[in-house]
Structure 1
Amino acid sequence: MSQRTYRVIFQGCVLLCIVSASLYVHKQWLQGTELMHWKNVITGEKQQHFAQERHGPDKKNSVESAAVQEPRKNVQIKQKQSTATNKPKIYSNRYLLPFRPNAAGGCNHQYWRFKRGIMMSYLTNRTLVMTPFFLHGGHVAGYTREHLRPFNATFDADMLSKVVPVATIEAFKRVCNRNNTKVILWPGERERYDKIKKSIYTDMVEVDLPSEDKVIILEQMQLDKVVSITENETCVALSIDELLHVKFNNTEQLQNLIDKYLVPAPKVVRIVNDLTKKICHGKQYLAYHWRNQSAEVVCFFGRGGNEKECASRRKVIRRVAEVSAEAVTDLMKKEQIECIYLACPLWALEMVDILSKRIPRASIFTSGDILGSTKYQTLLEDYYTLSLVEQEICMRAAIFVGTVHSNWSGMVKANRAVNGRTSHKIRDIIVKLPEDVPSGLLR
């Protein structure tokens, strides 16, 4: 054969090898794609199952709609893709410490303020420092080391990291100190700064912040001003107290994202997975958060007032409770819900007797009813965790009725709203308020 023939044969072999290799690669790609597709399908089904255990079953499934799902083994919840737009690039080595210059407010007031910290972390392209919270409110007063509660005992850090990068206090302290941390406060907060800095951040949280003469006071909340001041700063401590009163433009989607992903700690979720089986034999229930703050401080905690005044207030509270119980049980009948979970302080359990006049006692569930086993009985003395547990129980209810002017109820309603669940304020479901019940006491 001629040299030309050998060349043609050689070129043909090379072409055949190229075609064969291409077909093989394409086949492997198709197999990989198909495998990934089915992996996503299976994962999606599992994640949907996990989500149902917290948020309840799909209402379209009429067979399972009345039952509580089996406990999930993985507490991570498959959420819809973020609806927030134009998410900025976030640098993991740029920290934002949500700073609270006012040591006041119950647990849920602290949570509301922290949600503003999440928003500011997102808007300023910074990693959020997970600050601790304090058991405070009701019969517990004062921000003390004894009342300090770590972030991971309250919320799920892994879920929150789907909204913003997060860092522990320890990570912040390794990088940030009094010499390189920029502190931003609002008018009227300077005089409180040194006291709070020492009593909470230095003595308890052990964060080294700059002295009062080094802080920056901004006259009004201007996001672009905050960004420009801190543009080249690694460490920023931003006061979040006054941010509760600031309205940010075009942040509704971001707020919904925060409400969706700020979920209880895995320990809390696991406890509630067990406890919901004990409520109404695993069937759907209505949850009612009952408390009357108008007389708690004076009558239950002994801070001011006298017995005569308390006796008068208790009489009115009793009447308020009766009106509320009537409205709630009427709603249960209307929605054909058999059972109620009553979330209330231990000093307000008289509501159980009032409800029992209208529905069977066996249909009423409280923390005392479902924490009878030795496994969870200690929760009755752990008010901080018990509160989180009851909020999650209310979150999973078919219908939730909240107390007016309550941050506790507000946290539940916000989380339920982004998950498409029905909530009511007690005042809104009362058909007519009797003349002997002042509307100001229904709170």
Structure 2
Amino acid sequence: MLPRTYRNIFQGCVLLCIVFASLYVHKQWLQGNELMHWKNARTGDEHQHSAQERHGTDSKNNVESTTVQEPRENARMKQKQSTATDKPKIYSNRYLLPFRPNAMGGANHQYRRFKKAIIMSALTNRTLVMTPFFLHGGHVGGYTKEHLRPFNATFDADMLSQVVPVATIEAFKRVCNRNNTKVILWAGEREQYENIKKLIYTDMVEVDLPSEDEVINLEQMQLDKVAPITKHESCVALSIDGLLHTKFNNTEQIGQLEYLVDKYLVPAPNVVRIVNDLTNKICQGKQYLAYHWRNQSAEMICFFGRERHENDCASQRKVIRKFAEISAEAVTNLMRKEQIECIYLACPLWALDMVDILSKRIPRASIFTSGDILGSPKYQTLLEDYYTLSLVEQEISMRAAVFVATTHSNWSNFVTANRRTNGRSNYNIKDIVKLPDNIPPALL
């Protein structure tokens, strides 16, 4: 039998061995758990990458590909969550009513003016009044009640409210009237004020505005005077025609506002739902290139009651046809370069000859137009609703993997601006064609 001292030493050694063994086992257990966790995470990543590869998101068109697959509502929710937090403070009892002193301009011309009104609302700390728009231009002339389209049938008010607070015309009328509304016009607009006030604001939207002798006239370069003049006014009606070609000072705040306007001024939810329903009819839900084909020269010269001599039209059509052939070649070459097999042709119904021209270069089954995807009775009426059809085609173009814009087109510019803020690929037709000397640049 060992002496007590040796027994204590032996027991101590055994105890230490047990402790070290326990620590070793625990370490192995932790490492095993970490390895399993890493493997699970890795497997999840691999599943995610596989999904991305199936959708083509590992290509240079990463953003475009993801957007094509993702419903617009999901993208909008993400946009709301990522809205800038330093929006200007705006008081609910301070309104800005966008005022149109001229009853002219197509829908996208009106949208351009409205964008400026959004920026002015933010700069002057005001709630923006959602005025209606009008179907106008080309085949339709005149601002009439029949052509009036509500704001909520055009744009998503909820999305726009991420940039500036918005209010209905009814809310504006509850607070504002001719006695407390300050109207600001730009040089040369006073002459038409009374007629436009009656035509649009009194008769159609029933807004009571001050008389001509009570309006304030400013020069366009006096943009900085708007805020101090209206500082203590609750209700302001500001002409947006004069703002159309006005360039704001290129400050960081203006740049951020313009970015947010381009990102959040998006088609109405009803338009988005229609396109969600139609997307799978374009190239079986796969990626596609969208091309906005339009020729304003042909429209102005040979359509809509403004015909020149028939010889002039015949001559002009020959030139247009030649340019159509050149542009079709350029666009189909771009499709091959981008490895996209389908094209959505966004164009007026009177310009569908381009389908035949494209069909010489790619299969007809790879070409999609509004007529191809709106065949069901549910959407057949859209072919006669030019206003909504235009918004639908813009939304389709916003979702395309690649977009080719027509030069000198407000329609194309609206799509390009939204796509640019979302990092999507855009081309302008003038930049991808080789134009012969005998084709006027105006045709682009």
8 Å Cα contact 1:67-1:283 kept in structure 2: no
Larger Rg: 1 or 2?
Answer: 2
Q: Which residue of 2 aligns with 1:45?
A: none
Q: Which residue of 1 aligns with 2:442?
A: 440
8 Å Cα contact 2:220-2:242 kept in structure 1: no
Instruction: Determine whether 1:266 maps to 2:269.
Output: yes
Distance of 1:147 and 1:228 partners within structure 2: 36
Q: Which residue of 1 aligns with 2:25?
A: none
Q: Which amino acid aligns with 1:414?
A: A
8 Å Cα contact 2:57-2:66 kept in structure 1: no
SS for the counterpart of 1:342 is: strand
SS for the counterpart of 2:345 is: strand
TM-score by length of 1: 0.83
Instruction: Determine whether 1:403 maps to 2:401.
Output: no
| Unmatched runs of 5 consecutive residues or more in structure 2 | 1-54
Which of 380, 385, 388 is the aligned partner of 1:382?
385
Q: Which residue of 2 aligns with 1:173?
A: 173
SS for the counterpart of 1:207 is: coil
Instruction: Determine whether 1:140 maps to 2:143.
Output: no
Q: Which residue of 2 aligns with 1:197?
A: 197
Distance of 1:406 and 1:70 partners within structure 2: 28
8 Å Cα contact 1:99-1:237 kept in structure 2: yes
SS for the counterpart of 2:82 is: coil
Q: Which residue of 2 aligns with 1:9?
A: none
1:60: how far off? 3.7
Q: Which amino acid aligns with 1:122?
A: A
Q: Which amino acid aligns with 1:385?
A: T
Aligned residue runs from structure 1 range 14-413, under 5 A: 59-60=57-58, 65=65, 68-69=68-69, 71=71, 76-79=76-79, 81-83=82-84, 85=86, 87-249=87-249, 250=251, 251-413=254-416
8 Å Cα contact 2:220-2:243 kept in structure 1: no
Distance of 2:323 and 2:213 partners within structure 1: 51
8 Å Cα contact 2:68-2:401 kept in structure 1: no
| Unmatched runs of 5 consecutive residues or more in structure 1 | 1-56
* Alignment coverage as a number of residue pairs: 383
1:82: how far off? 3.7
Q: Structure 2 vs 1, CA of residues 142 and 81 (structure 1 numbering), >3 Å: closer, same or farther?
A: same
Distance of 2:65 and 2:235 partners within structure 1: 49
8 Å Cα contact 2:201-2:208 kept in structure 1: yes
1:365: how far off? 0.1
8 Å Cα contact 2:72-2:272 kept in structure 1: no
Distance of 1:180 and 1:309 partners within structure 2: 54
TM-score by length of 2: 0.83
Q: Which residue of 1 aligns with 2:422?
A: 419
Identical-residue share of aligned pairs (%): 78
Distance of 2:304 and 2:83 partners within structure 1: 44
Q: Structure 2 vs 1, CA of residues 73 and 391 (structure 1 numbering), >3 Å: closer, same or farther?
A: closer
1:304: how far off? 3.5
1:74: how far off? 6.4
8 Å Cα contact 2:65-2:401 kept in structure 1: no
1:301: how far off? 1.6
Distance of 1:75 and 1:284 partners within structure 2: 17
Q: Structure 2 vs 1, CA of residues 73 and 129 (structure 1 numbering), >3 Å: closer, same or farther?
A: closer
8 Å Cα contact 2:67-2:399 kept in structure 1: no
Q: Which residue of 2 aligns with 1:23?
A: none
8 Å Cα contact 1:184-1:237 kept in structure 2: yes
1:235: how far off? 0.6
8 Å Cα contact 1:156-1:263 kept in structure 2: yes
